[in-house]
Amino acid sequence: MMASSYNAKDEDGIQPGSVGSGGPGAVKNRKPDNTAFKQQRLPAWQPILTAGTVLPAFFTIGLIFIPIGIGLFVTSNNIKEFEIDYTGVDKSSPCFHCSQNYSWNSTSACTCSVPFTLETSFESNVFMYYGLSNFYQNHRRYVKSRDDSQLNGDQSSLLNPSKECEPYRKSDEKTIAPCGAIANSLFNDTLELFHIHPNGNRTAIHLVKTGIAWWTDKHVKFRNPGGNNKNLSVAFQDTSKPVNWRKPVYELDPTDPDNNGFINEDFIVWMRTAALPTFRKLFRIIQKKKDSKTPTLQSGNYTLEVTYNYPVRSFDGRKRMILSTISWMGGKNPFLGIAYMTVGSVCFFLGVVLLIIHHKYGNRNNNADIPN
């Protein structure tokens, strides 16, 4: 389009200053400007990729990456993590009997306790996760099946949520709150942790329910309808609980009004759909006692008390409980360190190869370049 305009301009004889250097005289000279840009002579850096020129880059990358990798690897290794599968696939598993229940609608709560032993003690704050495997929270239709306005406390959306929530939009002529498949499949197992003292006493470990969701989620994205109205049951009147739920949304945490309804953090965490089919979600935090020399979790025997509500066997899912400390780089994952080390070493190796090439052929090339 531009080009045609140039032609046209020239034809017209009206040349904008940028195109022609038409002087003040009546006779316009159509000679193009002799500018570096128009003559394509802009000063330029012209890197030529040869063994010689890229050598330093390879060595530098290698030299930088390997230490970083080692650092990351060490950091990751310092993280303590414990994981236990309580799905109850094996007959021997304590939760086997609970896992036989494939239904969401069983009213009787099934509980099982899973004993485990921590070999080492966990020093700092311990994060307790539940992990699900083979659970495709990233399924396209599943991801869409929510109404953010409703979750944001919008009154009209509360009663008339988005079509995306179908088929979990209405139940018995009543609007489902929260609507959609994600909410409907809320993870509803209850996990409790007990420390078994060597003497046989069980101490319940205090699990903190809050602070597990993103701050912005809790305070911006998710809001209960009715504003500051503390009475959630009023706010949620004319709505019905999601099909799979045992209790309505305003009873998620009756003890803490700041953790109830849509702003229940377990709910919020669940609503943040996982990226991969095997995922963990933060469930509780075991806080390090202040001014205490004792580790958060000392090594020893523990029991995980599970209220087994969430059926996963139908899709070959697995449920796990994970205890983990975290570092500045998140949970335990040696991969990044390994990746850095690998890339660094490969770079270094290639650098050496290039060095050989450079020595063998680079000089000859130069000789060929320059006679005498």
Partner 1 sequence: MAREIGESGEAKSAKVKKHKRRKSKKEGKTRTVHANILYDHTKGLDNPNRHYANNKIKTTKYTLLSFLPKNLFEQFHRFANVYFVFIALLNFVPVVNAFQPELAIAPVIFILSVTAIKDLWEDYRRHRSDKEINHMDCLVYSRNEKKYLEKYWKEVRVGDFIRLRCNEILPADVLLLSSSDPDRLCHIETATLDGETNLKQRQVVRSFIDLDCEFDPLKYNSVIECEKPNNDLNRFRGYIIHCSGRRDGLYKDNLLLRGCTIRNTEEAVGIIIYAGHETKAMLNNNGPRYKRSKLERQMNVDVFWCVIILLVMCLFSAIGHGLWMFQYGDKRPVFDVLSPEGTDLSPVVSAIYLFLTMIIVFQILIPISLFVSIEIVKICQVYFIHQDAELYDEETDSHLQCRALNITEDLGQMQYIFSDKTGTLTENKMVFRRCTVAGVEYSHDANARRLAMYQEMDSEEEDCTSHGGTLPRRDSVASHQSGKVVLRSMSTKSHRRTGSRAEAKRASILSKHTAFSSPMEKDITPDPQLMDKVNECSSQMEFMRFHSQSIKQIPPDLCDIFDFFIALTICNTVVVSSPNQPRQKVRRYELKSPVKTIEDFIKRFTPSRLTSGSNSSSSSSLATNRSSHRVGSSMLSSAESTLTKLNEEKPPDHDLQHAFSPVPPNYDKTKALAKDECELRYEAESPDEAALVYAARAYKCSLVGRLPDQVTVELPHLGRLTFELLHTLGFDSTRKRMSVVVKHPLTDQITVYTKGADSVIMDLIRPVTDNVKGKRQRKILYKTQNYLNLYAADGLRTLCIAKKVLSKEEYASWLQHHLEAETAIQKREELLFESALRLETNLHLLGATGIEDRLQDGVPETIASLRKAGLQIWVLTGDKQETAINIAYACKLLDPEEEIITLNADSQEACAVLLENSLHYIQTKFLCNPPPDPQAAKHYSSFHFSSPVCSLASSAHTSPFLVHRLGLVIDGRTLAYALDKSLEDKFLAVARSCRSVLCCRSTPLQKSMVVKLVRNKLKVMTLAIGDGANDVSMIQVADVGVGISGQEGMQAVMASDFALPRFRYLQKLLLVHGHWCYSRLANMILYFFYKNAMFVALIFWYQFYCGFSGSAMVDQWYLIFFNLMFSAFPQLITGTLDKDVSADTLQELPQLYMNGQNSEEYKPYMFWMNMIDACYQSLICFFIPYFAYVDSDVDLFTWGTPITTLALFTILIHLGIETKTWTWINWVSIGFSISLFFTVALCYNASCPTCFSPSNAYWTMQRLLGDPMFYLLCVVTPMAALLPRYFYRACQGSLFPNPVQVGRQLDKLPADMRRLLLSQSRMKLGSLGSLFTPRALFFPLCSPFQKDYRPRMKPAHVSGNKQKEKAIASPIPSKTVEMWDTPLSSKTSGNHVILNIKTQDIAETCRPGSDCPLSGNLDCAMEASYTKDPPTSRTVLEATLSPVDLCQVRLLTSTPLLCQTESIQLVLPPSSCLLEQKVEDEDSSNQSPLLPKGGGDTQHNQEHSVKTTFL
Site for partner 1 in 108-137 (CB under 8 A): 129, 131, 135-137
Residues 28-67, interacting with partner 1 (CB under 8 A): 29-34, 38-40, 42-54, 57-58, 61, 65
**What is the β-pairing status of strands 81-85 and 202-204?**
unpaired
Q: Are 343 and 78 in contact, with CB atoms under 8 Å apart?
A: no
Q: Which is nearer to partner 1, 202 or 358 (CB)?
A: 358
H or E element, residue 155: helix 155-159
Nearer to partner 1, 74 or 102 (CB): 102
Which strand (E) or helix (H) includes residue 357? helix 335-357
Give the shortest CB-55-to-partner 1 separation in angstroms. 8
For residue 47, give both structure tokens.
């890197």
Q: 345 has which bridge partners?
A: none
Please report, as residue ranges, which positions from 293 to 332 form the binding site for partner 1 (by CB under 8 A).
314-315, 317, 328-331
Span from 228-236, 250-258, 267-275, 299-307 in contact with partner 1 (CB under 8 A)? 267-275
Sheet of strand 170-171, all strands in order from the earlier edge strand to the far edge = 170-171, 174-176, 239-240
Residues 156-185 as x/- pattern, contact with partner 1 by CB under 8 A: ------xxx-xxx------------x--xx
Question: Which of 119, 172, 173, 369 touches partner 1 by CB under 8 A?
Answer: 369
* Nearest distance, CB of residue 331 and partner 1, angstroms: 6
| 356 near partner 1, judged by CB under 8 A | no
Which residues are 39's β-sheet partners? none
Sign, CA torsion 167/172/174/176? negative
**How far apart are alpha carbons 153 and 173 in whole angstroms?**
20
Which of 338, 331, 336, 335 is CA-nearest to residue 122? 331
| φ and ψ of 260, to 5 deg | -120, 165
Q: How far is the CB of 118 from partner 1 (least distance, A)?
A: 20
Query: Least distance (Å) from partner 1 to the CB of residue 285?
Result: 12
Residue 335 found at the interface with partner 1 (CB under 8 A): yes
State which of positions 247-266 bind partner 1 (CB under 8 A): none
The answer to whether residues 287 and 125 touch, using CB atoms and an 8 Å cutoff, is yes
CB under 8 Å to 161, separation ≥6 — which residues?
Answer: 147, 149, 150, 169, 175, 176, 177, 179, 180
Q: Which part of the chain contacts partner 1 (CB under 8 A), choosing from 193-201, 228-236, 298-306, 357-365? A: 357-365
- Range in contact with partner 1 (rule: CB under 8 A) among 9-17, 115-123, 196-204, 299-307: 9-17
By CB under 8 A, name the one of 80, 218, 241, 280 that touches partner 1. 280
What is the CB-side half-sphere exposure of residue 315 using CA atoms within 13 A? 13
Residue 292 Cβ vs partner 1, minimum distance, rounded to whole Å: 27
The Cα–Cα gap between 45 and 366 comes to: 21
Single out the residue of 243, 244, 261, 239 nearest to residue 173, CA to CA: 239
How many binding residues for partner 1 (CB under 8 A)?
119
CB 318 within 8 A of CB 76: no
Rounded least distance, CB 31 to partner 1, Å: 5
The nearest distance, CB 254 to partner 1, in angstroms, is 25
Contacts (CB under 8 A) with partner 1, residues 205-224: 214, 216-217, 220-221
What does each C-alpha distance from 159 to 88, 163, 261 come to in angstroms?
A: 39, 12, 15
Which member of 281, 302, 308, 348 binds partner 1 (CB under 8 A)?
Answer: 281
Beta carbon nearer to partner 1, 17 or 47:
47
Beta bridge partners of 115: 303
Phi/psi at 67 (5° precision)? -60, -40
- Residue among 94 and 131 whose Cβ is closer to partner 1: 131
Nearer to partner 1, 155 or 299 (CB): 155
Q: Closest approach of Cβ 119 to partner 1, in Å?
A: 20
Among residues 70, 207, 346, 352, the one that binds partner 1 under rule CB under 8 A:
346
